A and B are shown apart, each in its own frame.
Chain A
Amino acid sequence: MKILAAVSRSTVARVLNCIQVLVPKPHVAVVSLDEEAALASKAMGVEFIGGPLPEKIYAIDEFKEYDVGIAALDNDSINISVVKALRSIGIPLVISLLNNSANRDLLVKEGADYVIDIDSYVSQNIAASLSMDKWVYVKPLSIVNLTLAVVRLARRSILGVKLGELKSALRSKSIHLMAIDRLGKVISDDSVELNAGDIILLTGIESEVYEASMDVEKLFRRHEETLARSFAESLRASTRPYG
């Protein structure tokens, strides 16, 4: 396999480390304008071609024989122009990094087969670390439409929702449900009530995961309504006339 990687100084090591572990070892050519990329390529025993992108891709005839093209630059406009170039010279598989999620459609339209969305990954990880009682959706892999929905319980822990109830609510869905307690252990007992700091994870295809998370939301709302009703009734029962 022959891989052509267009990289910048900040992505060169990351890309080459991934490629180096492939078996059988592919032939790799790195194209970059950055001298740091030349240094890293040499250290890793990889062919380096210096020059501006995407012009260099059009200029070298030999690149037409490559099997895979990788656009891994810090700038989406150059990633898009590199993807266009890789496509136009007939490279069958094109992978691109995406630095701003809003440019995903454009990158796909210009010919990227797989888009690795760094922006979404970073921002959703930050959101997941900070959010409580709110769903966060993460796409861990670009080769399948796999989505991970995560919610960390805080105030909702008082509702006393059990793992078994979640499983029942999601029985008809083709998704994988997992609950992890605050110590990082998987909760396996269905009768256990979820506590503050516990995490609910849903994994599956994007649309189904979204629907499943809505079903879990409905379950929580039902419990909230029940709690609110019983609280209102307890107030009514304890109210006494003055005097």
Chain B
Amino acid sequence: MVFALKSRGKVSLIIYLATEKGVRNVKHIYKSIEDSISVVDTYIVYYGLGAFKQLMDIPAFHSEPPYCRGKAILSGVNLVTSPVIVVINGDTSCFSIDSISNAVAKVLSGETLLHLSKPQTNTDFTNVYRSFLQDILGELGITQSMLYPSYSIIVGLRKFFTTTPYSMWSIEQLAAINLREEALVVENNSCIDSTIDYVKGFEKTFVKDLARKAVEIALQRNTISRNRAEEYLKRIEAA
């Protein structure tokens, strides 16, 4: 499998992180992925406060504003050149090389256009996320498995991200809205992840922004009527 992937196609790798823990993870993630997948270019995108301590000879980009995960992923997408991107959350250990290799193989073969891998989370953030987005995503025809706030591995075509607006928290859900359900794969990576500290206390802020963007995209695509969109937006503001 590894040999086949190395020879078949090339991807761009984006590792985003906001914490010190992530800094320690990056070296391990990079080495593991580079050994098994043919990578054209790699960028570390740091979206925490202060400067990122350069560990290796990987270009490190500082994304602004701080703690805006959606913008950090989009910044990485802007920097890389391959049509297929692998986006890894450097702040978590919730990834396996096998799952990344499988996802890359599926995207390179055209079997799927966007592959997301979700960790197990059962936090306040997940509950807030579901309370706001369950109805909207359901109406948009997005699979119920999109009901997780973040995905530790994202493999997909770069173009879906460059043409999608980002929210403070994420971009992957908004990119998924533009896909047919069969072109999207969401797998459970059975890894237990915890919420990053900067989210605590701001769960509603992050989720409301994401929900607003989802409604706007749905309205642009005529998936929902203007009345329905206004109803959603009112509900979001009132919460």
B51 at the interface (CB under 8 A from A): yes
How many whole Å from A52's CB to the nearest CB in chain B? 7
Which of B52, B64, B79, B162 lies in contact with A80, CB distance below 8 A? B79
Q: Which residues of A contact B78 (CB under 8 A)?
A: 75, 77-78, 80-81
Interface pick from B54-62, B85-93, B95-103? B54-62
A198 at the interface (CB under 8 A from B): no
How many whole Å from A90's CB to the nearest CB in chain B? 18
Which of B62, B74, B76, B162 lies in contact with A103, CB distance below 8 A? B62
Quick check: A77 and B61 within 8 Å, CB to CB? yes
How many whole Å from B78's CB to the nearest CB in chain A? 4
How many whole Å from B162's CB to the nearest CB in chain A? 7
A214 at the interface (CB under 8 A from B): no
Contact code string B179-209 (vs A, CB < 8 Å = 1, else 0): 0000000000000000000000000000000
B173 at the interface (CB under 8 A from A): no
Quick check: A106 and B60 within 8 Å, CB to CB? yes
B152 at the interface (CB under 8 A from A): no
Q: Which residues of B contact A106 (CB under 8 A)?
A: 59-61
User: A99 vs B62: C-alpha distance in the bound complex, in angstroms?
Assistant: 10
A100 at the interface (CB under 8 A from B): yes
In the complex with contacts A52-B162, A102-B51, A81-B79 CB distance below 8 A: yes
In the complex with contacts A100-B64, A102-B51, A77-B76 CB distance below 8 A: yes
Chain A minimum-CB-distance residue to B72: A77
Quick check: A77 and B63 within 8 Å, CB to CB? yes
A109 at the interface (CB under 8 A from B): yes
How many whole Å from A119's CB to the nearest CB in chain B? 9
A76 at the interface (CB under 8 A from B): yes
User: A81 vs B12: C-alpha distance in the bound complex, in angstroms?
Assistant: 14
How many whole Å from A171's CB to the nearest CB in chain B? 36
- Using CB atoms and an 8 Å cutoff, list the residues of chain B in contact with chain A: 51-52, 59-64, 74-76, 78-79, 162
Closest 9 CB pairs of A and B: A77-B75, A102-B62, A77-B78, A102-B51, A100-B62, A77-B79, A100-B64, A78-B78, A81-B78
16 contacts between A and B (CB under 8 A): A75-B78, A76-B61, A77-B74, A77-B75, A77-B76, A77-B78, A80-B61, A80-B78, A81-B79, A99-B64, A102-B51, A102-B52, A102-B62, A103-B62, A106-B59, A106-B60
Given contacts A76-B61, A77-B76, 7 further A-B contacts (CB under 8 A): A77-B74, A81-B78, A81-B79, A99-B64, A102-B62, A106-B61, A109-B59
